[in-house]
């Protein structure tokens, strides 16, 4: 999208100008989340990969998760990761 705009080719006193429009591709999942089964009291890491870098939001049901001692969120380029510490049965 940053490449959109008017481009001009000049040769001496003559020029030709064209407008370039770039349509953004949608963000898709390249690698989706996988189901996990873990023991109470341990930690788990959930991760997914997108087709291009974009902000993500983590939820459990309809509740948006916030970073805390329990929930750690990381994102590096196209890979997003959620680490849940000290798992309880209620975290399922």
Are residues 65 and 59 in contact, defined by beta-carbon separation less than 8 angstroms? yes
| Domain total of the chain | 1
Any domain includes 52: yes
Any domain includes 36: yes
pTM for the full model?
0.76
| pLDDT at 2 (0 to 100) | 86
> Percent of the chain at pLDDT above 90?
93
Any domain includes 20: no
Any domain includes 15: no
Any domain includes 6: no
Residues 6+ apart with CB under 8 A from 44: 36, 38, 83, 84, 87
Any domain includes 12: no
Q: Is the pLDDT of residue 24 over 90?
A: no
Any domain includes 3: no
Are residues 46 and 33 in contact, defined by beta-carbon separation less than 8 angstroms? yes
CATH number at residue 66: 2.60.40.10
pLDDT in tens, 44-77: 999 999 999 999 999 999 999 999 999 999 999 9
> Rounded CA gap, 37 and 84, in Å?
13
Any domain includes 53: yes
- Strands 79-84 and 44-50, how do they pair? antiparallel
Q: Give me the domain span that covers residue 50.
A: 25-91
Are residues 19 and 3 in contact, defined by beta-carbon separation less than 8 angstroms? no
Q: What is the mean pLDDT of the chain?
A: 95
């Amino acid at each position: 999208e940053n490449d959109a705009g008017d481009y001009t080719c000049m040769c001496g006193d003559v020029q030709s100008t064209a407008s370039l429009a770039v349509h953004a591709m949608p963000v898709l999942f390249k690698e989706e989340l996988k189901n996990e089964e873990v023991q109470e009291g341990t930690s788990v890491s959930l991760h997914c990969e997108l087709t291009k870098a974009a902000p993500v939001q983590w939820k459990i049901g309809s509740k948006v998760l916030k970073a805390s001692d329990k929930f750690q969120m990381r994102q590096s380029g196209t890979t997003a990761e959620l680490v849940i510490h000290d798992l309880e049965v209620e975290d399922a």
